[in-house]
Amino acid sequence: MSSKTVQGKSRPRPQSPPPPSLLLTIIDTLGKLTGGAFLGALVISSSLVAGSLVGLATSFRNLPDVRGMKGYVPTETSYIYDMKGGLLSSIHDEANRRVMPMTRISPHLKRAVIAMEDSHFYNHNGINPTSIGRAFMANFSSGGVVEGGSTLTMQLIKNLFLTPERAISRKAAEAVLAIRLEQVLDKDELFELYLNQVYWGHNTYGAETAAQSYFNKSAEDLTLAEAAMMAGFIQAPESYSPFDGNYNVSEEGYKLAKERQAIVLGRMRALDWISAEELKEAKAQPIRLGRVTSFSVSKMPYVTEAVVQELTDRFGRDAVLKGGMRVQTTIDTKLQRTAEDTVKYWGERNYYSVGADQMALVAVDPRTHYVKAMVGGVDYEDNQFNRAINAVRQPGSSFKPFVFYLAMANKKYTPNTPISDTRVSYPDGDGWYTPRNYDNSFSGSMSLRNALAYSRNIPAVRLGQEVGLDKVVELARILGIESPMEPVISLPLGSTGITPLEMAGAYATFASGGWQSPTTFIAQVTDSRGRVILDNTPKPQLVLDPKAVSGLTSMMQTVIQSGTAKKAQIGRPAAGKTGTTTSERDVWFVGFVPQLSVSVWVGNDNYTPLSRSAGGGSTAAPVWADFMRRALKDSAVEQFPKP
């Protein structure tokens, strides 16, 4: 194989010559090959042909400008990984492709491709006169296009710029553009682009993706036998593939693939690029086939869809589908599996016990605000809606800690400060708003701690009026809650919709003592060359009063120790709050230990009420406790700082 690659010098790049001159160059080449007199007579004797050629030449002025191909990178598949580098999913548009530098592609594959597609590639300037002459005579004799004469460069032009129609005008355009492109890129650049652009069947584009699909290995590790078989697919990939329409290996397909392999090896031997012994060994080598990778299913669909949503919001859909991103998520696979198992187990139990058909669970690390696990529903295959990030549901009393925090941050309250749990009414539009406790009773004067522990509504509404509802909305925004929120009188009772992800992230700031980073599913994103394009390394900021947070955490521990969430006890210090909305349409428990903040929501997608026995403490808290015990079983017990 010749390797007359231009290195160390650059070809002159004159202004593009007028298109008719390029056309005449092609005609002159064809004339020499087919007999100058014959071609000359053909052109001169027919005014119709002459007119067509002038029209064709004029049309060349509208051909694409190939000068922009310098530095061109093909569209590429993006890959999503867990925190430790385990592949979760790949996402792509029409082309499933992973770009590979030519230096890392097996020399066997490079020789095999050139042998079959363009053995004079390194010796021509974009068009091969011999091939064109042979194709011209065949097409002239048949009266149509029956044979190509395409070089690798012309094939590349067709894939990048032109339609696949078989017409003489298009072949001429290929030739013109091929000559121009070879003035822009050197041979190695062209060949690398070809190897990464070519279609190999089953929605696999480029050598690396094809090698992974056909042989479950990288293109740099292909043997001569594998390379020859793969090179044999290029001309008609689906026809020559060993895989059938269901992407299973078929006996007939494998037999045809072996026949194509033999043709490629024979061609390589005829060119003296392999020895007779190498040919014999390659034919005898057993081939272990892989599986088609273009249509793989995500291992964690709720997670990967959330990641894609976050990426799309930041970079746009095209960049995600075509940009070849390498996305390291924040997800802990072991913790994610625990979350999935927990939701599946309790989802079935809650359906039969309280009539709940759905559930969501989100776990956030308070030290980083990284999402470690997230489940958006009981069964993804049955329903793909992600309730963890898209369901805006009323949090009920699990919203109260925001109001209680503000009361203590204002220095007017401590956990032991008394507050009145007595009848009260507030003007509301044309009428009055009168809050009621869940059991319609009143407890008189009670401590702030007990008001939260036993989830009394009237004290929460009183505090909301005292600290200012605008301040409550402002605090929610500081804690990362972006869902629409109005400063209505009932806001302290969780009357506005919030997602489980937002609740877990907000409580994570309580768990960290007031330190916050943006809650995210993504740790880092690089491009296919390893350049960092997004770095979400936590940069915590102190956004809350640590003393007030410490007092609030102490009160929320009481909720679990002796209040409404006794079923959330897990044998170690934990803090949290139950939430149950009117008619039991939404039940919550959101809680945390120093190293993990977790929200659990239970309800029905159609907002129908659960049974009267449902509640945050009886329905959601046990789910939370089950998950936390399993998630923390190998983690050391950590203490909250004392208030």
**Active-site amino acid positions:** 117, 397
Q: How far is Cα 207 from Cα 210, in angstroms, rounded to an integer?
A: 5
CA atoms within 13 A on the CB side of 413: 29
* Sequence-separated (6 or more) residues with CB below 8 Å from residue 476: 402, 485, 506
Contact 377, 383 (CB under 8 A): yes
CA distances from 282 to 104, 113, 241, 362 (A): 21, 16, 18, 53
Q: Which amino acid belongs to residue 385?
A: F
Q: What ranges in 76-219 are assigned the alpha helix state H?
A: 107-117, 129-142, 152-160, 168-181, 187-197, 207-215
Q: Which of 47, 105, 535, 618 is nearest to 314 (CA)?
A: 535
Contact 570, 629 (CB under 8 A): yes
Q: How far is Cα 148 from Cα 132, in angstroms, rounded to an integer?
A: 8
Buried b (16+ CB within 10 A) or exposed e, 538-570: beeeeebbebbbbbbbbbbbbbbeebbbebbeb
Contact 115, 231 (CB under 8 A): yes
Q: How far is Cα 99 from Cα 206, in angstroms, rounded to an integer?
A: 7
- Secondary structure string (H, E, C) spanning 237-248: HHHHCCECCCCC
Q: How far is Cα 330 from Cα 334, in angstroms, rounded to an integer?
A: 12
Q: What ranges in 16-151 are assigned the alpha helix state H?
A: 19-34, 36-45, 47-59, 107-117, 129-142
Q: How far is Cα 627 from Cα 633, in angstroms, rounded to an integer?
A: 10
Q: How far is Cα 560 from Cα 563, in angstroms, rounded to an integer?
A: 6
Would you call 433 helix, strand, or coil by DSSP?
strand
Strands annotated E in 214-337: 326-329
Q: Which of 330, 391, 382 is nearest to 360 (CA)?
A: 391
CA distances from 376 to 273, 351, 585 (A): 57, 16, 17
Strands annotated E in 503-607: 515-516, 522-526, 532-535, 541-542, 575-580, 586-593, 596-603
Q: In this structure, what token pair is assigned to residue 427? A: 């003007």
Q: In this structure, what token pair is assigned to residue 503? A: 């609740």
Q: Which amino acid belongs to residue 301?
A: P
